[in-house]
């Protein structure tokens, strides 16, 4: 097989040449690209990357270190997709390119193998993740963490490791798969039949957000099915060159959920929601799963999207009527909202969370400059590319600082962890919450 | 290009600012123009005027071409590399050096992004009107080199109306400074206006002094739909005839409406034949009066829907949608070839008709939109560059459109420039004496034809070397 055929073979996940041809290189994406903004080099822009992918697909260019580097430098925030008038599916292209990179020049790279192993067998495997999380919790709570940080042992090993260690969110005391029952009923009548995906990292590191989600859902009359057989959605793997395993997880999830009776599958993590909505497309050519995937994806809703969609039917006074404003002291508590990329750009959900938040806090809401600019978390980007991620984080923290807000709401666990870390690092006194937690807090206050 | 020259270039700009890997050459092999592409030999990011000067001197010695480039959003191939060339990228020269509130001027580096300059000056109540569709990406240097226009051209003019002074490195490496903060200045030839629109063929712009104006305090945006294309064109003519100068008067046809709606999803009418998006601005009640007159004219011309958006966010949404029109058309077919034939405003209805005719006659899909108020249309052929037959039809349709525009007293390009894509029509447009004068000027300033050669026109090589022996060698001259 010659080089052209080989590359075409590798890129065959891209449906056909049309998807590449659609980019007419007008350059309107450049303004929204965080990595282009950093370097001002065309190759770090969506347009440049698409051109490189096109050249590889047509056999005019070898897959080399520069190509691999640029594909991985990309945050996959997909802000360019929002900006692209031609509707180019950039995210799909770059994710495919990453697969190709990992199958070719990075095939034998140790760090890639390690990453793959960790994602497959730790993150995406609930029992192992829970085990590791318990160890981590012990590490965090026993004083070992304090001790290690104090003596700076990790700093000796690697400066980045020392920093990345601080990125680890606090492990929850009780994991969601224990605290949330398989079937939960509302106090009153059942108004909505929902299912809930509690995520992999969410399960052990953000179990309180899961709990808040379930509490609010129950409050508004949802019956909630949380199948135990559900698994990690696969997005971290899919975005990092391991689509094969990601699809395995997708099929497992479809099997786990589809046998239950529900109208909406609720997700509170932007990355998971976006990926699960994409199952329909990803499994398009799987004869056994294509139909099931379509049905599965059509029911997926982000929690804020769901609340906004149902608000006219809801007996959720605080959301339907802005008259119950949260009693906040003006200027003392300012609330702002950061768009998670996979909510704003991948799922195009921007106005719904704002509407709800504004209805709760009225004049105490303030819009954040560059709200939909990536915070640098980007899945595991902040771990594998700590330095690059830090530059985006610094920008985000600066914008938050300038907004004078002291509560930042955002709908993705990655962003929450990242912005919390940024606040500590750059000495900014803010609270970072998931909007659902904010709503739950409000309900508790008003009840 | 031999490695000796490359290493000299590297030592001029420094290792960190020199690139010649295949990937780096590839991503500077195109700009925003469809179907044009050429790999440069190297890509340079010079740090100061002196380095640019040295590169140009070397180019004269070693006879290679230099192609200046901003953000690469041009639509006539002005920054597409040529044979044996290096690209000089100026996107990193992006500082606003001074905003002079007493003289209402801004001194900027060429890589400053147009939209960012606008944001900065608007913060202090000033206004820089030129607003090309790519304003969030494109650079002032590129705008000056191409005399860029935009939506507001009708009332506020184009880039040339705002350039007070330019600094640039000439092809021989000398630094030229022309113009200044004086509102009146007639010392010698008006070189400044001559440089604006020279498409990087006369020098590399390193600083620009821009005129600013007070920001209009009020504006009203009016959106209207039409069931008949000709009604919308007539409305435009009537508004101009009523002595009203809107700050913007944009036209979109049905194909464009549908593509834009697919992108923005703001409820544009998918079955209307045309949309007119009009903005009037100024001070106080005069704006309201103008808006009333405009609305009456729209009504008289059977607009099926008229709505006023006076909130900034709503109006911004509409304008953003309009700016995206060109790229949005790519949703329909993979290749979109956009032109900007412009006619005197009174001929607009006829020109729109001719474009519809071209679409039928040559069996090509054309999306039409543009700045109706200044007669500047953007007929866009939606095609597929991989299909040679289709591409040929597109070219024939454009030949027809250009010829018709010229017949109506119009021009082949209103705001995108001649570059590579329209140079074959230039002679027909400007006539032989004008074209010859341009060529003479170019060959005096750029003796060795090293700076962006082959753009706007081709300078035939001087009679050196052997005489032609085969007919093909001279067939262009016959």
The larger pLDDT score, comparing residue B225 to residue A132, is at B225
Q: Is residue B364's pLDDT more than 80?
A: yes
The larger pLDDT score, comparing residue A37 to residue B323, is at A37
**In the beta sheet, which residues pair with residue B68?**
B88
Contact between residue B382 and residue B255 where contact means Cβ atoms under 8 Å apart:
yes
Instruction: With CB atoms and an 8 Å threshold, state whether B26 touches A55.
Output: yes
Q: Is residue A326's pLDDT more than 50?
A: no
> Which of the residue ranges A23-32, A50-59, A141-150 has the most confident prediction, judged by mean pLDDT?
A23-32
Q: So what's the pLDDT on residue A1? A: 45
Over residues B173-195, the pLDDT tens digits come to 999 999 999 999 999 999 999 99
Residue A103's pLDDT band (cuts 50, 70, 90): confident
Q: So what's the pLDDT on residue B29? A: 96
Nearest by Cα to B196 from B396, B415, B405: B415
Let me know if B243 is exposed, middle or buried by CB neighbors in 10 A (0-12, 13-18, 19+). Answer: exposed
Q: So what's the pLDDT on residue B84? A: 95
What is the dotted CATH code of the domain comprising A3-103?
A: 1.10.1060
Round the average pLDDT of chain A to a whole number and report it: 85
In chain A, the residue whose alpha carbon lies closest to the alpha carbon of B323 is: A85
A70: chain B residues, CB-CB within 8 Å: 23
Identical topology for domains B216-328 and B333-449: yes
Q: So what's the pLDDT on residue B346? A: 87
CA gap A290, A230 in Å, rounded:
19
DSSP designation for B330: G
Q: So what's the pLDDT on residue A18? A: 67
Q: So what's the pLDDT on residue A315? A: 46
The larger pLDDT score, comparing residue A92 to residue A15, is at A92
Tell me how close the Cα of B316 comes to any Cα of chain A, in angstroms: 15
Q: Does domain A317-446 have CATH number 3.40.1350?
A: no
Which CATH code of 1.20.1050, 3.40.5, 1.20.140, 1.10.3470 fits the domain covering A176-309?
Answer: 1.20.1050
Q: ipTM above 0.85?
A: yes
Residue A320's pLDDT band (cuts 50, 70, 90): very low
Q: Is residue A134's pLDDT more than 80?
A: no
Q: Is residue A19's pLDDT more than 60?
A: yes
pTM: 0.89
Residue A318's pLDDT band (cuts 50, 70, 90): very low
Q: Is residue A325's pLDDT more than 50?
A: no
Domain boundaries, chain B: 3-89, 96-214, 216-328, 333-449
Weakest-pLDDT range from A155-159, B21-25, B349-353, B379-383? A155-159
Q: So what's the pLDDT on residue B477? A: 67
**What Cα–Cα distance (Å) separates residue B116 from each residue in A336, B71, B106, B127, B134?**
24, 14, 13, 12, 12
A31: chain B residues, CB-CB within 8 Å: 113, 115, 136-137
A61: chain B residues, CB-CB within 8 Å: 22-23, 26
Which 3 state secondary structure label does DSSP give A403?
A: helix
Q: Is residue B327's pLDDT more than 90?
A: no
Q: Is residue A269's pLDDT more than 90?
A: yes
Residue with tokens 């807090």: A441
Over residues A209-233, the pLDDT tens digits come to 999 999 999 988 899 999 999 999 9
Q: What is the mean pLDDT of residues B456-472?
A: 70
Q: So what's the pLDDT on residue A56? A: 86
Weakest-pLDDT range from A76-85, A166-175, A419-428? A166-175
Q: What is the mean pLDDT of residues B386-396?
A: 89
Q: Which structure tokens are listed for B43?
A: 């890509």
The larger pLDDT score, comparing residue A326 to residue A256, is at A256
Tell me how close the Cα of B187 comes to any Cα of chain A, in angstroms: 39
| A 404-423 residues with CB < 8 A to B | none
Instruction: With CB atoms and an 8 Å threshold, state whether A24 touches B134.
Output: no
At the second CATH level, the architecture of B3-89 is 2-Layer Sandwich (3.30)
List, as own/partner pairs, every contact residues B421-425 make where C-beta atoms lie below 8 angstroms and the sequence separation is at least 24, other chains included.
B421/B33, B421/B36, B421/B75, B421/B76, B421/B77, B422/B76, B422/B339, B423/B454, B423/B455, B423/B456, B423/B457, B423/B458
Q: What is the mean pLDDT of residues A397-423?
A: 94
Q: Does domain B333-449 have CATH number 3.30.70.2740?
A: yes
> Which of the residue ranges A325-334, B295-304, B321-330 has the most confident prediction, judged by mean pLDDT?
B295-304
Tell me how close the Cα of B250 comes to any Cα of chain A, in angstroms: 18
Q: So what's the pLDDT on residue A30? A: 95
What is the dotted CATH code of the domain comprising B96-214?
A: 3.30.465.10
Q: So what's the pLDDT on residue A31? A: 93
The larger pLDDT score, comparing residue A164 to residue B200, is at B200
For chains A and B, count residue pairs whose Cβ atoms are closer than 8 Å. 100
Q: What is the domain class of B216-328 according to CATH?
A: alpha beta
Q: Is residue B105's pLDDT more than 80?
A: yes
Q: What is the mean pLDDT of residues B417-421?
A: 93
Percent of chain A past pLDDT 70, that is, above it, reads 87
Tell me how close the Cα of A242 comes to any Cα of chain B, in angstroms: 25
Q: Is residue B426's pLDDT more than 80?
A: yes
Round the average pLDDT of chain B to a whole number and report it: 92
Contact between residue B76 and residue B420 where contact means Cβ atoms under 8 Å apart:
yes
Weakest-pLDDT range from A140-154, A181-195, A403-417? A140-154
The larger pLDDT score, comparing residue B174 to residue A313, is at B174
Q: Which residues of A9-38 are buried (b: 16+ CB within 10 A; e: fewer)?
A: ebbeebeeeebbbbbbbbbbbbbbbbbbbe
**In the beta sheet, which residues pair with residue B306?**
B224
Q: So what's the pLDDT on residue A106? A: 79
Domain boundaries, chain A: 3-103, 111-167, 176-309, 317-446
Q: Is residue B470's pLDDT more than 80?
A: no
- List the end-to-end C-alpha distance of chain B, in Å, as a whole number: 33
The larger pLDDT score, comparing residue B211 to residue A54, is at B211
Q: Is residue B104's pLDDT more than 50?
A: yes
Residue with tokens 């024939």: B396
């Amino acid at each position: 097989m010659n080089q052209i055929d080989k590359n075409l073979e590798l890129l065959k996940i891209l449906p056909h040449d049309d998807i590449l041809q659609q980019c007419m290189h007008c350059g309107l994406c450049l303004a929204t690209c965080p990595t282009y903004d950093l370097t001002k080099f065309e190759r770090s822009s969506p347009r440049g990357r698409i051109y490189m992918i096109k050249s590889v697909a047509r056999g005019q260019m070898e897959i080399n270190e520069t190509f691999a580097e640029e594909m991985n430098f990309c945050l996959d925030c997909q802000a360019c997709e929002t900006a692209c008038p031609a509707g180019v599916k950039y995210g799909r292209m770059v994710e495919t390119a990453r697969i190709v990179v990992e199958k070719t020049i990075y095939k034998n790279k140790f760090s890639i193998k390690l990453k793959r192993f960790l994602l497959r067998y730790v993150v995406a495997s609930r029992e192992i993740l829970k085990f590791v999380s318990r160890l981590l919790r012990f590490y965090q709570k026993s004083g070992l963490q304090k001790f290690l940080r104090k003596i700076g042992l990790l700093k000796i090993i690697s400066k980045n490791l020392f920093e990345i260690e601080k990125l680890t969110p606090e492990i929850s005391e009780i994991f969601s798969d224990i605290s949330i029952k398989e079937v939960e009923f509302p106090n009153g009548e059942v108004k909505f039949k929902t299912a809930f995906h509690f995520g992999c990292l969410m399960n052990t590191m953000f179990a309180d957000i899961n709990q808040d989600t379930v509490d609010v859902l129950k409050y508004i009359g949802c019956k909630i099915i949380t199948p135990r057989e559900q698994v990690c959605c696969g997005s971290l793997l899919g975005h990092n060159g391991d689509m094969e395993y990601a699809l395995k997880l997708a099929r497992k999830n479809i099997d786990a959920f589809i046998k239950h009776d529900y109208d909406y599958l609720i997700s509170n993590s932007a990355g998971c929601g976006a990926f699960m909505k994409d199952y329909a497309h990803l499994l398009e050519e799987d004869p056994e799963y294509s139909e099931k995937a379509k049905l599965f994806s059509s029911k997926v809703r982000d929690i804020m999207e769901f609340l906004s969609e149902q608000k006219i039917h809801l007996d959720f006074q605080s959301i339907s009527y802005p008259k119950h404003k949260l009693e906040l002291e003006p200027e003392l508590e300012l609330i702002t909202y950061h768009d998670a990329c996979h909510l704003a750009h991948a799922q195009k959900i921007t106005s719904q969370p704002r509407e709800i938040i504004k209805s709760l806090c009225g004049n105490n809401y303030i819009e954040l400059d560059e709200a939909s600019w990536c915070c640098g978390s980007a899945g595991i980007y902040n771990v594998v590319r700590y330095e690059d991620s830090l530059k985006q984080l610094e920008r985000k923290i600066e914008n938050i600082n300038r907004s004078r807000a002291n509560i930042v709401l955002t709908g993705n666990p990655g962003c929450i962890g990242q912005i919390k870390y940024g606040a500590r690092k750059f000495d900014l006194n803010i609270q970072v919450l998931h909007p659902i937690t904010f709503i739950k807090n409000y309900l508790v206050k008003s009840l | 290009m031999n490695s000796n020259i490359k290493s000299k270039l590297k030592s001029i700009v420094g290792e960190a600012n020199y690139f010649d890997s295949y990937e780096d050459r590839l991503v500077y092999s195109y700009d925003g123009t469809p179907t044009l592409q050429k790999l440069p030999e190297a890509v340079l990011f010079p740090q100061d005027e002196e380095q640019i000067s040295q590169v140009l001197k070397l180019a004269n010695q070693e006879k290679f071409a230099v192609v200046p480039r901003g953000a690469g959003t041009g639509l006539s191939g002005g920054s597409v590399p040529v044979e044996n060339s290096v690209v000089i990228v100026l996107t990193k020269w992006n500082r606003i050096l001074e905003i002079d509130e007493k003289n209402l001027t801004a001194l900027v580096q060429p890589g400053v992004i147009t939209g960012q300059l606008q944001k900065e000056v608007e913060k202090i109540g000033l206004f820089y009107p030129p607003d090309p569709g790519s304003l969030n990406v494109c650079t002032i240097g590129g705008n000056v080199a191409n005399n860029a226009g935009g939506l507001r051209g009708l009332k506020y003019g184009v880039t040339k109306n705002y350039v007070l002074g330019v600094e640039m490195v000439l092809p021989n490496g000398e630094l030229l400074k022309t113009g200044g903060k004086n509102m009146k200045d007639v010392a010698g030839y008006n070189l400044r206006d001559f440089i604006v629109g020279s498409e990087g063929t006369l020098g590399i712009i390193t600083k620009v002094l821009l005129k600013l104006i007070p920001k209009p305090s009020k504006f009203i945006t009016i959106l209207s739909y039409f069931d008949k294309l000709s009604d919308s064109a007539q409305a435009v003519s009537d508004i101009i005839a009523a002595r009203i100068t809107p700050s913007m008067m944009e036209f979109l046809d049905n194909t464009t409406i549908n593509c834009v709606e697919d992108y923005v999803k703001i409820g544009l009418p998918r079955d209307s034949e045309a949309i007119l998006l009009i903005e009037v601005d100024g001070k106080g009640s005069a704006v309201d009066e103008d808006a009333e007159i405009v609305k009456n004219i729209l009504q008289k011309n059977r607009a099926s829907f008229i709505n006023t958006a006076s909130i900034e966010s709503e109006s911004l949404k509409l304008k953003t949608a309009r700016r995206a029109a060109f790229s949005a058309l790519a949703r329909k077919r993979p290749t979109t070839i956009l032109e900007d034939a412009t006619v005197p405003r009174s001929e607009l209805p006829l020109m729109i008709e001719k474009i519809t005719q071209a679409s039928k006659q040559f069996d090509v899909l054309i999306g039409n939109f543009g700045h109706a108020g200044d007669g500047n249309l953007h007929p866009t052929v939606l095609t597929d560059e991989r299909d040679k037959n289709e591409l040929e039809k597109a070219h024939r349709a454009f030949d027809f459109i250009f010829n018709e525009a010229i017949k109506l007293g119009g021009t082949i390009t209103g705001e995108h420039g001649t570059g590579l894509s329209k140079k074959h029509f230039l002679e027909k447009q400007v006539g032989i004496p004008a074209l010859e004068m341009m060529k003479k000027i170019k060959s005096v300033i750029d003796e060795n034809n090293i700076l962006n050669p082959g753009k706007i026109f081709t300078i035939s090589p001087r009679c050196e070397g052997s005489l032609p022996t085969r007919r093909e060698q001279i067939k262009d001259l016959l």
